[in-house]
Amino acid sequence: GAVVSQHPSWVICKSGTSVKIECRSLDFQATTMFWYRQFPKQSLMLMATSNEGSKATYEQGVEKDKFLINHASLTLSTLTVTSAHPEDSSFYICSARAGSGRADTQYFGPGTRLTVL
């Protein structure tokens, strides 16, 4: 089946630093990637949608200057949390979809747990 990887799986950083999270589709080309955030015992909150080679579309309330998304190729998207603060601590999950058909399945990465001290 389709595999999506994320790196790192967890990261601890100091307040004010930036953290980059990578999302890769390993065995398929992802025309669209999504970034989600999940708080403890809650559902996934969509942060942004990105297409290869174009700017990401951010959901309302998500700061695009804080959460930088780059979808440089059909197999790689990155999320950079800039000037991280403790409230940015969360579980970040990426998702990738091949094609643009209505029936296409989204496949999810294993997630990255970010802890900002």
Partner 1 sequence: AQSVAQPEDQVNVAEGNPLTVKCTYSVSGNPYLFWYVQYPNRGLQFLLKYITGDNLVKGSYGFEAEFNKSQTSFHLKKPSALVSDSALYFCAVRVPSWGNTPLVFGKGTRLSVIA
Residues of this chain, 5-24, that bind partner 1 according to CB under 8 A: 6
As a whole number of angstroms, the distance between CA 77 and CA 54 comes to 11
Toward partner 1, which CB reaches closer, 28 or 108?
A: 108
* Per-residue mark of binding to partner 1, 37-66 (x: CB under 8 A): -----xxx-x--x-x-----x---------
Both structure tokens of 4: 């999506």
Is position 28 an interface residue for partner 1 (rule: CB under 8 A)? no
What Rg do the C-alpha atoms of the chain give, in angstroms? 13
Q: Give the strand pairing for 57-58 and 4-7.
A: unpaired
Burial class (CB in 10 A: 0-12, 13-18, 19+), 42: exposed
User: Could you count the other beta carbons within 10 Å of the beta carbon of residue 72?
Assistant: 11
Q: Which is nearer to partner 1, 19 or 35 (CB)?
A: 35
Among 14, 60, 61, 102, binds partner 1 (CB under 8 A): 102
Which parts of this chain interact with partner 1 (CB under 8 A)?
Answer: 1, 4, 6, 32, 34, 42-44, 46, 49, 51, 57, 91, 93, 95, 97, 100-103, 105-111, 113
